[in-house]
C-alpha cells in the first residue's frame, strides 16, 4: 500500500513470534556456551574504520562495510564481525585474565551486501573464542562447543557436517608452487575459497595469475592429509562427537587473518550456504597491537539466519523450535473476573502471582465470563483462576483437561509455587 513506511532492504522487524524464535536461538546459544564455562562479553556496535583496515580482513569485507564519517570527523563503521572487536579488547586487558580466556558474545552485525537466501544486511551472531592456548586440545574443545550448540537444537550428524581444513597446509603447498609472498598466497586462497561457487574456466583464469592450475589444486585437496586431523578426531571421539567432522581441504575461509585450522558447518543436503564457520587466528592480536600482545586464538561464529532456516526446514527441529516458541509466548495463569464486585480481590491475586514469578494476564475491563475464557485459551495459559462470588475461595480451571477444582485463597501462594507449566 502506497505511503506506508517499510523497513530497509535486508533488515527485519521482529514481531512477537519472530522475537520468540530469536529468543529460542539466543537462549540456547547462551546456555550451551555457559555449560563450557565460557563467559559473556560485548563491545560497541560502532568501531573505528581503521580497525577493519588494519586487521586485514580482506577486500570483500571492507567492501561490505556500513561506513561513514561521523560528526567528529572520524571514519567509523558498523561492526561486520566480532573478531576485531574482541582482539582490540584483549589487547587492552589480556594481562588481567587467566589463560586460556574463554569468551562468547551474542550481538547484531551489519554487512552491506546483496540480500539473498540466508544472507541479510543485519543479523545476529554467536561468537565464541578461546584465547591463549594453541594446543590441539583447545581446537577440539572449541569444535566440541560448536557441535554441542548445534545438537542442542536437535541437529544430528545425519543433518550437518563440519568440514575442517588447515591454512598452514595450504601455505606450505603454495610455497612449493612458487607462491612464497604471503600477500599473494592470501590472494590465491581467496580464489581457492570459491572453488564450489565459481565456474571452472573463471577459476582457471584467476589461478593462472599465480602460475597455478585447477588440476594442481584439486590433486592437493584429494591427496593431502595434514597431521592435525588425527589428534582432533581422537579427542572428539572420546566425547562421542567424531561423526560430525570430516577433513575437506576445499575449506580455506576467505578472511585473511586465519593461520591454521579452519572449518565450516554445512547441512548434509547441501541446500544452503555455511551455517557456521571459524578457525585459528594466532597472529591477529600481535598484528593489531604491533607486537605488544601475542596470544594464539581460535574462534567461530554462528549466524541466526541460516541456522533458523535450517531448523524450520527439518521436521524434528521445527517441532522442537515451535514448542519452545509457544512456551515462550504463553501465559501461565489467566485470572477470570467472574464478579466485577470482586475486581479489587482479583487484582490482589494477579499481583501475588506475578510477584511469585508467574506470567499472568486478566481482563482490563468488565467482560462476559465466556469471552474471558476465550481470551484465556488464546493466551496459551495452562489454567484459569476464577475470582467470583465464592470468594475467598477460588476456582481452578485446567484449560486442557477441562477440569475444575476449588482453592482457598490462603493456599494460593503454595499452589502457584508448585504449578507445573512449560518452560519458556
Q: Residue 346: pLDDT above 90?
A: yes
Q: Is the pLDDT of residue 357 over 90?
A: yes
The CATH architecture annotation of domain 16-323 reads 2-Layer Sandwich (3.30)
pTM of the model: 0.88
- Torsion angle, alpha carbons of 229, 235, 241, 244, to 10: -10
- The per-residue pLDDT for 101 is 97
Cis, peptide link before residue 334, omega less than 30° from 0: no
Question: Is the per-residue pLDDT at 424 higher than 70?
Answer: no
Under CATH, which architecture does the 332-418 domain have? 3-Layer(aba) Sandwich (3.40)
> Dihedral of CA 146/32/422/107: which sign?
negative
Q: Are strands 39-40 and 67-69 parallel, antiparallel or unpaired?
A: unpaired
3-state secondary structure of 182: helix
**Residue 336 to residue 273: CA distance in whole angstroms:** 50
Residue 94 has pLDDT above 50, yes or no: yes
Smallest Cα–Cα separation from 146: which of 4, 268, 307? 307
- DSSP notation for 127-177: EEEEES--SHHHHHHHHHHHHHHHHTTT--TTTEEEEEEEHHHHHHHHHHT
* Mean pLDDT, the chain, integer: 91
Who contacts 278 (Cβ-Cβ below 8 Å, separation ≥6)? 142, 146, 262, 263, 298, 299, 300, 301
CA dihedral in degrees (312, 313, 319, 320; nearest 10)? -60
Indicate if the pLDDT at residue 350 is higher than 90.
yes
Residue range 72-88, pLDDT digits in tens: 999 999 999 998 899 89
Residues 256, 56: Cα–Cα separation, whole Å: 6
Closest by Cα among 309, 300, 320 to 144: 300
Confidence of residue 1 (pLDDT cuts 50, 70, 90): very low
User: Could you give phi then psi for residue 81, rounded to 5 degrees?
Assistant: -160, 170
Collect all residues with Cβ–Cβ distance below 8 Å to 314 and sequence separation of at least 6: 154, 155, 159
Residue 121 is placed in which grid cell?
Answer: 544486511
Q: Which residues contact 46 (CB under 8 A, 6 or more apart)?
A: 76, 77, 78, 79
The stretch 260-276 carries a mean pLDDT of 89
Query: Is 327 buried (19+), middle (13-18) or exposed (0-12) by CB count in 10 A?
Result: middle
Three cell numbers written together for 265: 558447518
Mean pLDDT in residue range 238-253: 92
Which position has the grid cell 592470501? 186
Q: CB atoms < 10 A from the CB of 284, how many?
A: 26
Which residues contact residue 93 at a Cβ distance below 8 angstroms, ignoring those fewer than 6 apart?
none
pLDDT computed for residue 254 by the predictor: 65
- List of residues 6+ apart from 22 with CB closer than 8 A: 14, 124, 304
Q: Give the C-alpha separation, 351 to 413, whole Å.
A: 11
The full set of domain ranges for the chain reads: 16-323, 332-418
Cβ atoms within 10 Å, residue 187: 18
Per-residue model confidence as pLDDT tens digits over 299-335: 999 999 999 999 999 999 999 999 999 989 999 999 9
Distance CA 304, CA 200 (A): 32
How far from 133 is each of 129, 139, 141, CA to CA, in Å? 11, 9, 11
Confidence of residue 2 (pLDDT cuts 50, 70, 90): low
pLDDT recorded at residue 304? 95
The whole-number pLDDT of residue 124 equals 96
Percent of the chain with pLDDT over 90: 66
What values do phi and psi take at 297, rounded to 5?
-155, 150
| More confident position, 273 or 72 | 72
Amino acid at each position: 500500500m502506497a505511503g506506508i513506511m517499510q523497513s530497509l532492504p535486508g533488515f527485519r522487524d521482529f514481531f512477537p513470534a519472530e522475537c520468540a524464535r530469536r529468543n529460542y536461538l539466543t537462549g540456547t546459544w547462551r546456555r550451551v556456551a555457559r555449560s563450557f564455562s565460557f563467559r559473556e562479553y560485548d563491545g560497541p556496535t560502532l568501531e573505528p574504520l581503521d580497525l577493519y583496515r588494519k586487521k586485514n580482513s580482506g577486500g570483500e569485507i571492507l567492501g561490505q562495510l556500513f561506513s561513514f564519517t561521523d560528526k567528529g570527523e572520524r571514519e567509523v563503521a558498523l561492526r561486520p564481525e566480532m573478531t576485531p572487536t574482541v582482539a582490540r579488547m584483549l589487547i587492552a586487558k589480556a594481562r588481567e585474565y587467566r589463560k586460556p580466556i574463554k569468551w562468547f558474545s551474542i550481538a547484531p552485525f551489519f554487512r552491506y551486501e546483496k540480500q539473498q537466501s540466508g544472507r541479510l544486511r543485519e543479523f545476529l551472531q554467536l561468537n565464541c573464542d578461546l584465547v591463549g592456548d594453541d594446543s590441539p586440545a583447545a581446537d577440539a574443545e572449541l569444535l566440541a562447543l560448536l557441535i554441542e550448540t548445534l545438537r542442542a537444537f536437535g541437529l544430528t550428524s545425519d543433518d550437518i557436517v563440519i568440514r575442517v581444513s588447515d591454512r598452514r597446509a595450504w601455505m606450505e603447498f603454495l610455497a612449493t608452487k612458487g607462491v612464497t609472498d604471503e600477500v599473494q598466497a592470501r590472494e590465491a586462497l581467496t580464489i581457492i575459497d570459491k572453488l564450489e561457487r565459481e565456474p571452472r574456466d573463471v577459476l582457471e583464469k584467476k589461478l593462472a595469475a599465480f602460475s597455478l592450475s585447477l588440476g594442481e589444486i584439486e590433486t592437493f585437496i584429494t591427496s593431502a592429509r595434514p597431521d592435525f586431523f588425527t589428534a582432533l578426531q581422537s579427542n572428539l571421539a572420546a566425547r562421542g562427537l567424531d561423526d560430525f567432522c570430516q577433513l575437506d581441504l576445499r575449506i580455506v575461509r576467505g578472511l585473511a587473518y586465519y593461520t591454521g585450522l579452519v572449518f565450516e558447518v554445512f547441512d548434509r543436503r547441501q541446500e544452503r550456504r555455511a551455517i557456521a564457520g571459524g578457525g585459528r587466528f594466532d597472529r591477529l592480536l600481535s598484528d593489531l597491537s604491533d607486537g605488544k600482545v601475542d596470544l594464539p586464538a581460535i574462534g567461530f561464529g554462528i549466524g541466526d539466519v541460516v541456522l533458523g532456516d535450517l531448523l524450520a526446514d527439518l521436521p524434528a527441529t521445527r517441532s522442537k523450535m515451535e514448542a519452545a516458541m509457544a512456551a515462550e509466548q504463553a501465559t501461565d495463569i489467566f485470572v477470570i473476573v467472574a464478579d466485577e464486585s470482586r475486581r479489587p480481590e482479583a487484582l490482589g491475586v494477579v499481583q501475588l502471582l506475578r510477584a511469585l514469578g508467574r506470567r499472568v494476564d486478566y481482563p482490563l475491563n468488565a467482560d462476559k465470563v465466556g469471552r474471558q475464557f476465550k481470551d484465556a485459551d488464546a493466551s496459551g495459559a495452562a489454567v484459569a483462576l476464577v475470582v467470583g462470588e465464592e470468594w475467598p475461595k477460588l476456582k481452578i480451571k485446567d484449560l486442557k483437561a477441562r477440569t475444575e477444582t476449588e482453592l482457598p485463597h490462603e493456599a494460593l501462594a503454595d499452589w502457584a509455587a508448585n504449578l507445573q507449566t512449560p518452560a519458556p
